[in-house]
Amino acid sequence: MPKPFFKETPALQSAFLLTAALLLSGCSLLSKEKSADANALAAISGPPSFSLQVNAPPPVQELLLKHMELQRYRTLPDLRRGELTRLLGAGESDIRALLGTMGYFSPTIELALIETPQEDTPRKVLVQVEPGPATVVESAEVTFSGSTAQDPGGERLRNSVRRNWGLQKGDQFTQSAWSTSKNEGVRRLQARRYPTAALTDSRADIDAETQQAQLRADYNPGPAYYFGPLVIEGAERYNPSGPIRLARLPVGAEYRQDTLLDTQQRLANSGLYDSVFLTLATEVAQPGEEVVHAPVIAQVREAKLQKWIYGFGLSTDTGARLSIDHTHNRVPYVGGRALSKLQLDRKNPIISSRLTSMPDYSGWNYFIGGRAAREELADFTANSVTLTTGRSKSEDKIDRTYFLQYDMAKAEGEGAPPSSSALTANYGWTGRFFNNPTNPTRGYGFGWEAGAGTTLTPAREPFGRLAARWLYLRPMGQADEDTGRRSRLSLRASGGAVLARKDAVVPITQLFLSGGDTTVRGYSYQSIGARSDNGKLIGGRYMVAGSVEWQRPISIAGNLTDWEHATFVDAGTVADQLNASTIFVGIGTGIRWRSPVGPLQADLAYGLKTKRVRLHLRLGFNF
């Protein structure tokens, strides 16, 4: 048991004042009025009236130099010795209160006023502080009250709050840790099942003689909430039934803040709204009600029916690029959403359009699309047309699609392969399990696509096509205490195969090429391929590529920046026969900038086969 709280000890007066302050929610050591005075005094310019020297352990010294009241009087003009002496009298209490926020309640404090006629200031205040032993937590009791204090469905959550409470027995007591622990308990409850949870009582009893703290916090979880129906407010142009299916709110499921945010993000990504804000209608709860099924209100501002986007880009692979994107959110007589694009660049001009329906209640939607392109494929130029139709489903982390595809390609150039066309049935699956969709630092992604069909011209021959890709980001080393950032290893692999008779003429656009920013750096765009009978470079039936990259944050003067450094090795091959392939290797280094829209990377890579250095630029993350 701690000794009586009001026992006369040298430091108990300041400890009592701190404890009383801790009983008040949102307390602070400096009042708003004092803060205003400090700002006013700090604005006064002129030579300092005295210098201030603090001798104390580094954390204590930093706190005192930043928050001592003596600091705000240094630039006060015409401060006389008698006035400064009176300030020193109040300075000890101020220092004790500040040390109390760090858990030091038995400090030894000495303040001295020294005349310094030979220095820039007429006087110097010397502060000597020995903080003494730190106060540690002797007990931390977390309790729950209210009608749902024994709710069976929330038992695991309550245990989690107790287990993860910030201050445990044996930890050093500080004001910031105490406030953080209380707030974190509320946050954990509000993030799942109990969105109206609140802290009803808290107490920190400090025994300055034994340097022990007894802590208690009581929470009222409030009613348990479950998701009711999604209600869209502000819908005028678009029928809300489609967006409601697109949002995929799990009606009837236990409330989770992450689920609400994911639903909001899906609505925002639909392109139908310029702004989306979701709230749980907690006001529907009745007094004494323990379980509430509350509707979710989506306040939206609808996007325009049509949208045009003009863009200009630059890539080391394809050069300058001009693009025009058009979106029609409700196509007349059809009701679907059409995305059309015109892209003009030196190597790969494209025109495409895709019409997509709103998803049904299972999450699947229909689509139909077409694409015409003129592409530089190795030593040949190909004019191609692609038509697709099928169904797709996009979930939080997984995309699925199955579709029929018609391909027609006509190659130009000396020794070009004959024109050909094909019809295939395809299925694709992509999983993205990263911690961030635009700037990931850990996680993995895996995608694959399989197709089977037949060539149509110049002859009918069955064939199949397989392709897969994989990316893994693994953090390494110790994380920075302030930012949580650390170095990571990036592993990438991809491969593909076209399975057909040797004499089958598969459309040239279905074959594989490698080299460039996203495959094997150190080699130009699509410069790695197979060789035709006349020695021309052409797409091959087999492709394998991989990369190992080490990425680490860049620090300047000990401070982390938004820049990173990377060192990498890439390797890959393309061939018509696996036993006759040549491995192309590129090594290099580069920098990354974590921009708001994704990483901007600039790499210098050396191709071991070409013995040349190439610059590779890329913006954004895409898997």
Q: Give the model confidence (pLDDT) of 286-339 as tens digits.
A: 888 999 999 999 999 999 999 999 988 776 667 788 999 999 999 998 888 999
Position 198 scores a pLDDT of: 96
Contact at 8 Å (CB) between 457 and 476?
no
Residues 6+ apart with CB under 8 A from 40: none
Fold of domain 136-220: Ubiquitin-like (UB roll) (3.10.20)
Which amino acid is located at 257 in the chain? Q
Give the percent of the chain with pLDDT over 90.
58
Residues 6+ apart with CB under 8 A from 567: 549, 550, 588, 589
| Top-tier CATH class for 393-399+411-619 | mainly beta
Q: Is the bond leading into 117 cis (omega within 30 degrees of zero)?
A: no
Residues 6+ apart with CB under 8 A from 546: 491, 492, 493, 494, 570, 571, 572
Coil vs helix vs strand at 516 = coil
How many distinct helices (H) and strands (E) make up the chain? Answer: 8, 27
Instruction: Specify the CATH number of the domain 224-302.
Output: 3.10.20.310
Per residue in 354-388, pLDDT (tens digit) is 999 988 888 899 999 999 999 888 889 999 999 99
Position 411 scores a pLDDT of: 92
Coil vs helix vs strand at 74 = coil
Q: Which of 26-35, 241-250, 382-391, 430-439 has the lowest mean pLDDT?
A: 26-35
Q: pTM here?
A: 0.70
Would you mind telling me the total number of residues written for the chain in this entry? 623
Contact at 8 Å (CB) between 475 and 487?
yes
CA angle 425, 431, 437 (to 5 degrees): 130
Q: Which of 7, 9, 15, 10 is nearest to 205 (CA)?
A: 15
**Which of residues 95 and 18 earns the better pLDDT score?**
95
CA distance 602 to 614: 11
Q: CB-based burial of residue 421 (10 Å sphere; 0-12 exposed, 13-18 middle, 19+ buried)? A: middle
Q: Which of 351, 357, 312 is nearest to 331 (CA)?
A: 357
Per residue in 170-200, pLDDT (tens digit) is 998 988 889 999 999 999 999 999 999 999 9
CA distance 366 to 361: 13
CA distance 490 to 547: 8
Per residue in 91-126, pLDDT (tens digit) is 888 888 888 888 888 888 888 888 877 667 778 888
Homologous superfamily, domain 31-130:
membrane protein fhac (3.10.20.310)
| pLDDT confidence band for 450 (50 / 70 / 90) | very high
| Half-sphere exposure at residue 238, Cβ-oriented, CA atoms within 13 angstroms | 30
CA distance 547 to 487: 17
**Residue that has been written with the tokens 């000990």 in this structure:** 558
Q: Where exactly does CATH 3.10.20.310 map onto the chain?
A: 31-130, 136-220, 224-302
Mean pLDDT confidence for 577-588: 90
Per residue in 224-272, pLDDT (tens digit) is 999 999 999 998 889 898 899 989 999 999 999 999 999 998 899 888 9
Coil vs helix vs strand at 203 = strand
Mean pLDDT confidence for 132-156: 92
Contact at 8 Å (CB) between 370 and 351?
no
Position 23 scores a pLDDT of: 36
| pLDDT confidence band for 608 (50 / 70 / 90) | very high
Q: Which of 255, 328, 266, 324 is nearest to 293 (CA)?
A: 255
Q: Which of 209, 131, 199, 135 is nearest to 167 (CA)?
A: 135
Q: Where exactly does CATH 2.40.160.50 map onto the chain?
A: 393-399+411-619
Position 451 scores a pLDDT of: 98
For residue 229, give both structure tokens: 């129906």
Q: What is the DSSP letter of 508?
A: G
* Partner residues linked to 364 by β-bridges: 393
| Half-sphere exposure at residue 149, Cβ-oriented, CA atoms within 13 angstroms | 11
Position 77 scores a pLDDT of: 73
pLDDT for residue 393 is more than 90: yes
**91, containing H or E segment:** helix 81-101
